[in-house]
Structure 1
Amino acid sequence: MQQSTLLSLGSINADFQVRIDQAPGSTETLLAHEFRRFAGGKASNTAWLGALFDHESWLLGRVGDDDLAEQALAPLREAGIDVSAVTRAAGQHTGVSMITVPPDAKKHIVLATNANDDWDEEAALAVVKAVEQARLPACLVADCEVPAWVVQRAVEAASRRSIPVVLDPSFPDRVEPNLLGGLLAITPNESEAEGLLGRAIDSLDDAAQAAHELRQAGVRIVCLKLSDGGCLLDAGKGAMHIPAGEAEPVDTTGAGDCFTGVLAIALLEGREPIEAAAWAVAASNAAVTTYGSKPAYPTRDAVAPVVDGLMRKARRVDG
């Protein structure tokens, strides 16, 4: 397999995670256990997957000039990820994500964006330069937990080199409408799709209609992540529902990032959209079965045997 380049632009955080035995809000003070510190953030997670799947992986983003920057970056360096385009925001803290995981495994996150939202022209130029210098074939994966103008500059640089772009639209209110026409793929969850389109999504038919509307806006491939671990795919040949596989959730932290990262990798490797979406579903399903995000991410060999079964279960949705 030819080694390609995955460029990951977006949030880079220091994660602090605990398990709790009661739902948040059930009492004023909750006792916690299994405290962990991780390198986190959406771009950090997709970059990790690029390396895990044996591609050249570059991380693009911002950290602070504090001690938490090393928590965020050191594990990625050790994994062989190029972090040379990660710049430091003077006088700013690195992004911090505080995560609680209750018994139902559905994580709750409080995010302080910090350096992720503190960009200047020099930092943006570092991102553009990285996109311009990346070895082809390449794919840019971006999220919107950094300023919209930075994402726009990166997408424009990718377009000049015909590098496809996959967007995780978190936060949806930061997605500029004119950005959609430049995307190969977009991976909203249900609430993000609601934010993009301004209406509720309460059924598979609603999801299919939402995917159709995003395609009309110019996105070539829409993969709407469903809360049960499946997805709704529209790549121009009608909406397809790929159901979730069998997984016992332990921790949903980072599962959505796993979906986006593996989808981008599969598309970069030349897989058809339906197969790429099945790879993404299989990987994100595996990611919920272990505590933490990166420690839970599956290898290529762990995902591959599940893909054909998911594709056989895929069904058309009328919308």
Structure 2
Amino acid sequence: MRIAVVGQLARDLVLVVPEVPGAGATSPVLERREVLGGKGANIAVNAVQLGASAALVGVAGDDEVGDHLVERLRADGVDTSSVARRGKSALIVDVVCGGKWRYLQDIPETSLVAPTDLGPAVAEADAVVVQLQQPHDTALAAVRKAGGLVVLDGVATPDLLERADVLRADHQEGEELTGRSIGSPGDAVAAGRTLVGRGPDLVALEVAGEANVLVWSSGEVVVPLTEEDVVDTTGGGDAFVAALAVALARGERPEEAGRLAVAAAGRAVDHAGGRTDLGGLRTPGE
């Protein structure tokens, strides 16, 4: 089974601090990690950890940082033949305090995926994950080229929705897509039904702090969040998307895919930063 991921590749600097200083003040750093990051890279690495073959369609800088990012991807088992090299590598600084993140991002225009970067990996994959922080024309070209299951992650425009098989949206994105408040699983089911009517076969929506809800034409399931202590939610959504795509690509039912995705997200939030190890994770109940 092969997964192609169209998305961001970046250097991720994670800083855990006891407090966020105001202007003219300082704070010690309790923990510092410098890791491979970016939502696209996270999803691709997580897919490999879950037993899939994965290729990243992304952009690394034509610099020393880019060299290290590509080397790390290869060491993680990700196919980098579709990673373009140009410009300066993207940088994401994740400042974590009290379980809440604050991002500082340097995302050069050249680090975004262009339609011309989409090679055969997209057409040949069993599932294509399109991370919607990329330009709209790139996302649209990717779903048109896709030969397998199309999984969209984020706020999708109508022309993307009508071509999608699966849509995943977090709490804020779900409210933006539907124009309605999602304060309960019942709200999420109603919102999911609205979105299924716009094209996708399956919609997964977050109910913040409570559950994830999956809705499809003939059913729905509410999967409560796991009970890990939340250190940093960075990477939780990426792990969810990776597990959802892998499970559906290998033929699991939405209920099973949802449980695996929530378990993956739970494993991702119990530490600082988006670097997560999903090795050995199985659908709860297996």
1:65 matched to 2:59? no
Counterparts of 1:115 and 1:88, CA distance in 2: 13
Q: Number of aligned pairs?
A: 286
Query: Aligned residue for 2:44?
Result: 47
Letter in 2 for 1:164: L
Query: Aligned residue for 1:157?
Result: 145
1:94 matched to 2:89? yes
Query: Aligned residue for 2:227?
Result: 246
Task: Please say if residues 99 and 110 of structure 1, whose CA atoms lie closer than 8 Å, have aligned partners that are also in contact.
Answer: yes
The 10-residue stretch of structure 1 (273-282 or 233-242) with the greater mean CA deviation from structure 2? 233-242
1:112 matched to 2:113? no
- Deviation at residue 23 of structure 1 after TM alignment: 5.2
**Mapping of 1:127-146 within 5 angstroms?**
127-132=118-123, 134=124, 138-146=126-134
2:273 to 279, 285, 292: 292
Structure 2 CA distance for partners of 1:118 and 1:252, relative to 1, 3 Å: closer
Secondary structure of the corresponding residue to residue 109 of structure 1: strand
Secondary structure of the corresponding residue to residue 15 of structure 2: strand
**Mapping of 1:203-218 within 5 angstroms?**
203-218=184-199
- Deviation at residue 298 of structure 1 after TM alignment: 2.1
1:32 to 24, 29, 36: 29
Counterparts of 1:268 and 1:208, CA distance in 2: 23
Task: Please say if residues 58 and 112 of structure 2, whose CA atoms lie closer than 8 Å, have aligned partners that are also in contact.
Answer: no
Counterparts of 2:184 and 2:241, CA distance in 1: 22
- Deviation at residue 25 of structure 1 after TM alignment: 5.8
* Alignment gaps of 5+ in structure 1: 310-319
Alignment identity in percent? 28
Letter in 2 for 1:297: D
The 10-residue stretch of structure 1 (275-284 or 197-206) with the greater mean CA deviation from structure 2? 197-206
Counterparts of 2:100 and 2:282, CA distance in 1: 22
**Large movers: runs of 4+ above 6 Å:** none
* Alignment gaps of 5+ in structure 2: none
1:94-140 CA distances to partner (integer Å, 9 max, x unpaired)?
1111101112x2322222221565455xxx334143223x3x6x100
Counterparts of 1:98 and 1:260, CA distance in 2: 22
Query: Aligned residue for 1:6?
Result: 3
Secondary structure of the corresponding residue to residue 32 of structure 1: coil
Counterparts of 1:30 and 1:227, CA distance in 2: 30
1:26-55 CA distances to partner (integer Å, 9 max, x unpaired)?
985433231111110111011101211222
Letter in 2 for 1:303: R
Counterparts of 1:53 and 1:24, CA distance in 2: 39
The 10-residue stretch of structure 1 (261-270 or 59-68) with the greater mean CA deviation from structure 2? 59-68
**TM-score, normalisation: structure 1:** 0.83
Counterparts of 1:88 and 1:303, CA distance in 2: 35
Task: Identify the structure with the greater helix proportion.
Answer: 1
Secondary structure of the corresponding residue to residue 27 of structure 2: coil
Secondary structure of the corresponding residue to residue 36 of structure 1: strand
1:220-262 CA distances to partner (integer Å, 9 max, x unpaired)?
1111123226201101234321111221222222011000000
Structure 2 CA distance for partners of 1:209 and 1:9, relative to 1, 3 Å: same
Structure 2 CA distance for partners of 1:236 and 1:279, relative to 1, 3 Å: same
The 10-residue stretch of structure 1 (199-208 or 80-89) with the greater mean CA deviation from structure 2? 199-208
Secondary structure of the corresponding residue to residue 231 of structure 2: coil
Query: Aligned residue for 1:167?
Result: 152
Query: Aligned residue for 2:281?
Result: 302
**TM-score, normalisation: structure 2:** 0.92
Query: Aligned residue for 2:253?
Result: 272
Letter in 1 for 2:202: I
Counterparts of 2:229 and 2:274, CA distance in 1: 15
Secondary structure of the corresponding residue to residue 44 of structure 1: helix
Letter in 2 for 1:130: A
Counterparts of 1:116 and 1:106, CA distance in 2: 29
The 10-residue stretch of structure 1 (250-259 or 199-208) with the greater mean CA deviation from structure 2? 199-208
